[in-house]
A and B are shown apart, each in its own frame.
Chain A
């Protein structure tokens, strides 16, 4: 009931173009429920699911999207409580609580907009603050452009930028993480987003720049102040700062995201300032960026159909528009993970270190304090701007019942309707604590999913064989005699063997197939190949095409029901690379595909009683990607 009231208040405030502060600080202790026990560490490790990319009211853009929920609300949402969307409805996790989380508000102007909107503060007296929360759209846009432009350019605005506000709000963010951390049960991290943008295309100060955003996550202790893009827009400066922090006992990871809209900048083959890459650069990058967020609401960055023409599943989650523009990102190089893996192998040969030897996670990038993981219950991510089906292009505007002659809002057409209900960060760790989960991320024993809770094991070893699959001690033997996802297999001329084991999410679709994506170098040339390695429904892999037969699974587009007799609950296999060549560096990662289900836009349309938008894919295949295992030949 209190929620209902707060909704009213928020709506009232919205009408007036201002807001009351609904931030509460009640101290609710977290106690163990009756019968609840803390689990013992598991040497074979457990899988934990989390979201490491969450914005709240303290992010300058979220506040303008009318988001008023706090870091504490974000943690409550993660623990299974309901919170309020700025459009007035309640958000709640479909599944069980998350295992771990980090709130990652933009460090640039952290907390500044809420402060501008609070009467009595110094910053609220600025002309800009009055404009920002006026009722004149021109003034609002102009004021907000000043902030946005300042973030884009990485330049502090004198008289607006206030380090005290950032310090105070950062401290509150760290305190919220500490308050909700419950070792063994629910892990939270102090974190923030480093929001660097590289102005690339669009001369003359345009915004159409490359997204170099990163989330910076701290293991336990946190620094007094975040290092944001207003300190420097060069990520190498961020890494140097992180190195200093680490030397002082504050360990952190920087996790890049949305390389898909980096305009070729995220994995480019030179330094920020255009110099050749060196071993020192690669070592520093890997020390600070061992994992990358491959999927989130704003698209998936695995690969692109133009880069992987022989991969029939390369068209998933493609989103190409540079932030807030109608300009497409440069897809030919530097934007996609698979290509970076290949380039990394070449670089390793050339400079003696691989700057792109990273593992994978997913997360959401929600700006409403709660992640949207489910196709059948999707609320996208930027508050009042895309909070309804009509605003995100899945339902025709104005209550129309058909798409004939309908012009979809250009923002919905090229941006929001292309976004996805994704994703999760999955880690294999001994227990659910900051130390165990952080350390798993550092060793890259992680995988990404598109919002499903597929369980995925992946091990590599030279002496593995198919007999291990039925061994009850398989996992501990695999750890002992090989490496897990994220690891290096160092050896001579022997084809590496792999054990892949995937189990479906009980509440999502069954599994269709498991694939291994191999990326390798050949005399400085890069190559890739997708091998199906396990098929559902008794299918076997065609040795020529390396594909499973179609399992015939279908989706009923009138009600989104799926085939009940197709697909596998689990797929488990041993695979030895049949094309191994001595001395060729290679990396191998797993991709697991579920049977198809309705895309969120189809669910939206069915609920509204209208046909799905013909411009959008009607179904998708949820999936998981493991961190790779690298084959490292020992040189003679």
Chain B
């Protein structure tokens, strides 16, 4: 408790975190053998951590991934330990740097794909670069605060009277956001207006005013002005982006392969999972 009484910095918290880490490290050092036990309690702890991020409990498949990740991590630590690296942090540091170096060298070997190589990889992964459908639309807003129970009637009335060439901006109620939106994808419409409105306007045909559509804000008459179809990407304009993604993909593969190789040297026992 001395550290709490000590008038120390905000930043010393970390010291405490590192104490905890050190504690775990010592725990690992105490273990021997080539059996990795994934306890039910550990799975619960990792699942809770996972759920905290994902906002739902993990399914069986998710759990399997969580466990795989844990095992890989454990293997790396054991490998370091087996080599006696835990005795001196400088050595661990060097060893980790070497490992990383090995993996990074896998990456650098793949630094310059030929044009043909890159293009054929692009063809196989075309969907990753596709642009989602985007829609441009204008809308007339009706406020439930203003019209109350009459809102449907008011909306129907406006719909009957809005003709091509009418000044649509003078109809309905003022809207605090925009009255027209250019080329936005459904995900963004969802964030701006809510999911029901977004899915409804992505089903409309262009060029005519829609019947009233509900949103988080009230009712809207919507006219789709343009649809940019989900587009397959063309290679040339985004060559640099493709090359970067290719590089990332290659190094991921190299690193995964290296890890798999290490994991093969262990028997893995997982407790508390039926599958």
Contact surface of A with B, Cβ cutoff 8 Å: 1-2, 4-5, 7-9, 11-18, 20, 26-29, 31, 33-37, 39, 46-47, 60-61, 64-66, 87-91, 95-96, 119, 133-137, 140-141, 144-145, 147-149, 151-152, 202, 204-208, 323-326, 376-377, 379, 382-385, 388-389, 395, 399, 410-411, 455, 457, 470-472, 474-475, 501-504, 506-507, 510, 538, 568-572, 604, 607-608
Interface residues of B (CB under 8 A from A): 3-4, 7-19, 21-22, 24-25, 28, 41, 44-45, 48-53, 55, 57, 69, 72-73, 76-77, 80, 85, 89, 92-94, 96-97, 100, 131, 134, 143-145, 148, 169-170, 173-174, 176-178, 182-183, 187-188, 190-194, 215-218, 228, 231, 233, 237-238, 240-241, 244, 247-248, 251-252, 255-256, 259
Q: CB distance B216 to A12 under 8 Å? A: no
- Residues of B within 8 Å of A119, CB to CB, are 93-94, 97
A380 to chain B, nearest CB (A): 11
CB within 8 A of A144: which of B14, B48, B69?
A: B14
- B194 in contact with A507 (CB, 8 Å): yes
In the complex, the answer to whether B173 meets A35 with C-beta atoms within 8 Å is no
Q: Out of B4, B14, B89, B233, which one reaches A326, CB within 8 Å? A: B4
Q: How near does chain B come to A527, taking the closest CB pair, in angstroms?
A: 31
Minimum distance in angstroms from A601 CB to a CB of chain B: 12
Complex contact A39–B182 (CB within 8 A): yes
Contact of A506 among B134, B217, B256 (CB under 8 A): B217
Q: Please give, as numbers and ranges, the residues of chain B lying within 8 Å of A151 by CB-CB distance.
A: 9
Distance between Cα atoms of A28 and B244 in the complex (Å): 7
Contact A324 B22 (CB under 8 A): no
Report the bound CA distance from A507 to B45 in whole Å. 30
Whether A572 lies near B131 (C-beta < 8 A) is no
Which chain A residue lies CB-closest to B93? A18
- In the complex, how many angstroms separate the beta carbon of B190 from the nearest chain A beta carbon? 8
Pair B21/A8 contact, Cβ less than 8 Å: no
Q: Write the chain A residue with the least CB distance to B134.
A: A35
A101 CA to B176 CA, complexed, in Å: 23
* Given the contacts A39-B182, A135-B22, A1 and B15 also touching, CB distance less than 8 Å: no
Contacts of A91 in B (CB 8 A): 53
A137 and B52: CB pair below 8 A?
A: no
Interchain CB contact under 8 A, A5 and B228: no
Given contacts A1-B252, A2-B248, A207-B8, are A64 and B131 in contact (CB under 8 A)?
no
Q: Chain B residues near A395: list those with CB within 8 A.
A: 48
Number of A-B contacts (CB under 8 A): 246
A134 to B92, CA, bound (A): 11
Instruction: For the complex formed, measure the closest distance between the CB of A412 and the CB atoms of chain B, giving whole angstroms.
Output: 11
Q: How far is the CA of A523 from the CA of B17 in the complex (A)?
A: 54
Return B267 CB to nearest CB of chain A, in Å. Answer: 20
Among A4, A16, A506, the residue within 8 A (CB) of B80 is A16
How far is it, in angstroms, between the C-alpha of A22 and the C-alpha of B209 when the chains are bound?
53
A-B complex: 3 closest residue pairs judged by Cβ atoms: A148-B9, A206-B7, A324-B10
Nearest-Cβ distance from residue A144 to partner chain B, whole angstroms? 6
Instruction: Please tell me if the beta carbons of A134 and B89 are within 8 angstroms of each other in the complex.
Output: yes
Q: Are B11's CB and A61's CB within 8 A?
A: yes
Are B13 and A382 within 8 A (Cβ)? yes
Contact residues in B for A472 (Cβ distance below 8 Å)? 169-170, 174
CB distance from A146 to the nearest CB of B (A): 10
- Please state if B12 and A66 are interface contacts (CB–CB under 8 Å): no
Q: Are A399 and B14 in contact (CB under 8 A)?
A: no
Q: Contact between B17 and A385 (Cβ–Cβ < 8 Å)?
A: yes
A148 near B55: Cβ-Cβ < 8 Å: no
Chain B residue with the shortest CB-CB distance to A503: B176
How distant is A51 from chain B, measured CB to nearest CB, in Å?
16
Q: What are 5 A-B contacts with C-beta separation under 8 Å?
A: A4-B69, A17-B22, A383-B17, A411-B13, A502-B176
Given A8-B73, A134-B89, A607-B55, are A324 and B247 neighbors across the interface (CB < 8 Å)? Answer: no
Question: Which residues from chain B contact A149 at a C-beta distance below 8 Å?
Answer: 9
Q: Is the CB of B11 within 8 A of A60?
A: yes
Most A-side CB within 10 Å, residue of B28, B145, B238, B259: B145
Given A17-B18, A119-B93, A472-B174, also A90-B53 (CB < 8 A): yes
Q: When the two chains form their complex, are residues B53 and A133 in contact, meaning their CB atoms are under 8 A apart?
A: no
Cβ contact within 8 Å between B21 and A15: yes
Q: How far is the CA of A3 from the CA of B48 in the complex (A)?
A: 20
A2-B248, A20-B100, A399-B45 known; 15 new pairs, CB 8 Å cut-off, are A9-B96, A14-B21, A18-B93, A20-B97, A31-B241, A64-B14, A89-B49, A135-B25, A140-B15, A144-B15, A206-B7, A325-B7, A506-B190, A506-B216, A510-B216
CB atoms of B55 and A208 under 8 A apart: no
Q: Give the chain B neighbours of A384 by CB distance below 8 A.
A: 14, 17, 21
CA distance A220 to B120 in the complex (A): 42
Contact of A26 among B11, B72, B131, B247 (CB under 8 A): B247
**Residue among B10, B53, B93 having the largest count of chain A Cβ atoms under 10 Å:** B10
* Inter-subunit contact B96/A141 (CB<8 Å): no
Tell me whether B9 and A569 are in contact (CB under 8 A): no
CB-CB under 8 A from B251, the residues of chain A are 2
Q: For B182, what are the chain A residues with a Cβ–Cβ distance below 8 Å?
A: 37, 39
Q: In angstroms, how far is the closest chain A Cβ from the Cβ of B7?
A: 3
B98–chain A nearest beta-carbon distance, Å: 10
* CB-based contact B52/A604 at 8 Å: yes
Complex Cα spacing A338 to B226, Å: 48
Closest to A149 in B: B9
Q: Which residues from chain A contact B48 at a C-beta distance below 8 Å?
A: 389, 395, 607-608
Write the nearest CB–CB distance from B168 to chain A, whole angstroms.
11
**Chain A nearest CB, measured from B150 CB (Å):** 14
A11 to chain B: which residues have CB within 8 Å? 73
Contact indicator A144/B11 (Cβ below 8 Å): yes
**Of the candidates B10, B143, B187, which one forms a contact with A96 in the assembled complex, judged by CB atoms under 8 Å apart?**
B187
State whether B217 touches A503 (Cβ < 8 A): yes
B240 touches A145 (CB 8 A): no
Which of A145, A457, A569 is in CB contact (< 8 Å) with B216?
Answer: A569
Contact at B228–A61, with CB atoms within 8 Å? Answer: no
User: In the complex the two chains form, what is the Cα distance from A568 to B19 in whole Å?
Assistant: 50
Query: Closest residue of chain B to A384, judged by CB?
Result: B17
Chain B min CB distance to A272 (Å):
21
Contacts of A33 in B (CB 8 A): 131
Give A26 Cβ to nearest chain B Cβ, in Å: 6
> How far, in Å, is A43 (CB) from chain B's closest CB?
13
**How far apart are the CA atoms of A152 and B8 in the complex, in Å?**
10
Instruction: Give chain B residues whose Cβ lies under 8 Å from the Cβ of A46.
Output: 178
B41 engages A399 (CB within 8 Å):
yes
Q: Which residues of A contact B131 (CB under 8 A)?
A: 33-35
Is B52's CB under 8 angstroms from A17's CB?
no
- CB neighbours of A89 from chain B (8 A): 49-50, 52-53
Name A28's contact: one of B50, B231, B240, B252 (CB within 8 Å): B240
Nearest Cβ distance between residue B71 and chain A, in whole angstroms?
11
- Pair B100/A9 contact, Cβ less than 8 Å: yes
Q: A472 CA to B55 CA in the complex, in Å?
A: 42
Nearest CB in chain A: distance from B169 CB, A: 6
CB neighbours of B215 from chain A (8 A): 506
Considering the chains assembled together, what is the distance between the CA atoms of A382 and B14 in angstroms?
9
Given contacts A20-B96, A37-B182, A503-B217, A385 and B14 within 8 Å (CB-CB): yes
**Known contacts A16-B80, A137-B22: A571-B9 contact under CB 8 Å:** no
Q: How far is the CA of A410 from the CA of B191 in the complex (A)?
A: 39
- Establish whether residues A148 and B8, one from each chain, have CB atoms under 8 Å apart when the complex forms: yes
B7 and A202 contact, CB distance less than 8 A: yes
Do A503 and B53 form a contact, CB below 8 Å, given A144-B9, A411-B13? no
The answer on a CB contact under 8 Å between B192 and A470 is no
- Which chain B residues lie closer than 8 Å to A571 at the CB level? 145
The reply to whether A324 and B52 contact each other, CB–CB distance below 8 Å, is no
Residues of B with C-beta under 8 A to A377: 53, 55
Interface residue from B11, B85, B218 paired with A147 (Cβ < 8 Å): B11
Distance between Cα atoms of A525 and B162 in the complex (Å): 57
